Amino acid sequence: MDKQFNDLASMRRNYDLEAFDLTQANENPFIQFKKWFEVAIKSGKIYEPNAMTVASVDENGLPSARIVLLKEIWEAGFVFYTNYDSRKGREILSGKGVSLLFYWDQLHRQVRIEGTAEKISREKSEKYFQSRPKTSQIGAWGSAQSQPVSRKDLEARKNELEEQYKDTDVLPCPPNWGGFLVKPTRFEFWQGRPSRLHDRITYELSPSDGTSDWIVGRLAP
């Protein structure tokens, strides 16, 4: 085996940029997220600060995860768009819950979000779809996402769609394509610290009275 892989156990970096304490945490996790998200955007160090891992669970309880892009932050949660017939779409629609993870390594930060997900309105999905570049619209129509395909057939389908819609700049939104709203029940904000004594601040949605109150706490690293 190559020496570089033999050295994996010794690979480590120290985290010493900032601290994050309960005294600094906003009582509203959405506001706290927006603060960190703004820092990630303005840092100029992160190629796609809105990239997030979406984890779901299949009918056998096996998890799967993939990277997607956050497109909107609503008062109720976080919105991304996908093919509803894809593996992630089917698993999310099963109602078993979903988890999001943002990792901004240059800032030594990550945010974990757990909750439920639901489709957004068709009207909102269509509005967003039609704001996308035409090439992305064609890609959505041309891909039976998560199904086996050859590169040759994929390119042929793209070429067919380009010819079919050559006289228009906007395609109709596919019926099986749209947005998901992830409604959080839990947040965790992680700030890397020296000696692996990281800061972990959590927000748990209070289930007791049906309000939107959040219980803020701290976990051992």
Q: Which of 13, 157, 186, 196 is catalytic?
A: 196
User: Using a CB cutoff of 8 Å and minimum separation of 24, what contacts does 103-107 make?
Assistant: 103/53, 104/36, 104/40, 104/43, 104/46, 104/49, 106/43, 106/45, 106/46, 107/17, 107/36, 107/39, 107/40, 107/43, 107/45, 107/46
CA distances from 95 to 69, 90, 103 (A): 21, 9, 25
Helix, strand, or coil here: 74?
Answer: coil
Report the residue count for the chain. 221
Contact yes or no for 64/56 (Cβ under 8 A):
yes
Quick one: CA torsion of 60, 86, 79, 120, rounded to 10 degrees?
-100
| Residue 125: burial class (beta carbons within 10 Å; 0-12, 13-18, 19+) | buried
SS3 content of the chain, % helix, strand, coil (to 5): 30, 30, 40
Is 87 annotated as catalytic? no
Q: Which residues are catalytic?
A: 196
